[in-house]
Amino acid sequence: MWIVFSGAGISQESGIPTFEERPDLRDVLTLDVWEQEPPLVWQTVWEMHRAVEAAEPNQAHLAIATAQWFVVTQNIDGLHQRAGTRSGDVLELHGDLRYAHCPQCGDGSQLAFLARRGVPKCGCGAIYKPNVVLYQEPVTRWRYVANLLNQACGVLVVGTSLTVNPAAALPGMAERRGIPVHVINEKASTQVPEFITWQTGISSAAGEMSHKDPSS
């Protein structure tokens, strides 16, 4: 199988800014800030959540979903799933913006069911924590990547500068196993569908049709 390794650049064309465009996020979404000022973290999370809700998957997301390739992503926006990639075929290394959990009792809730503003609290009285990996926290889901590469025949890297560890190590891990790596970091919505069609003969047209408004 092919594995897609995606970063913020694939969603940039959907209107979601990259972390390079929002350097302030690196100062807010940290474990230190969470422990000292959780309202500041939640203010930023709600801002990001609104941007994600307003975004739509682009042609790169749709082409990957149509090809049914497995996705390892650094993104927390859920656009791969919204494009049609099965949730079980997406490994979200840095968590997601769909859920929050209580660090005290373990209760979980979808962000859509919370107040969408302010600091949400669990019934036990503790503050919910967004289901994202903050800076200074370990990327625990990385341990699954090596097993995935053992099943891969190729890796398509899309929209990532490969500067954030441990994710930056993935292409090198693949190459050491003799797995071909193809990198697309510009015009993903055009180049990804073209690359997938060239590799598989599968056009993303069917995926595009399935996401059109039936009333149009």
Q: Which helix (H) or strand (E) holds 209?
A: helix 205-210
Alpha carbon distance 15, 54 (integer Å)? 9
Q: What share of the chain is helix, strand, coil (3-state, %, to 5)?
A: 40, 20, 40
Is 14 exposed, middle or buried, given 0-12, 13-18 or 19+ CB atoms closer than 10 A?
buried
| Residue 78 one-letter amino acid | G
Tell whether omega for the bond before 120 is within 30 degrees of 0, i.e. cis.
Answer: no
Q: Which of 49, 61, 94, 182 is catalytic?
A: 94
Q: Is 211 a catalytic residue?
A: no
DSSP state letter for 91 = E
Q: Annotated active-site positions, please?
A: 94
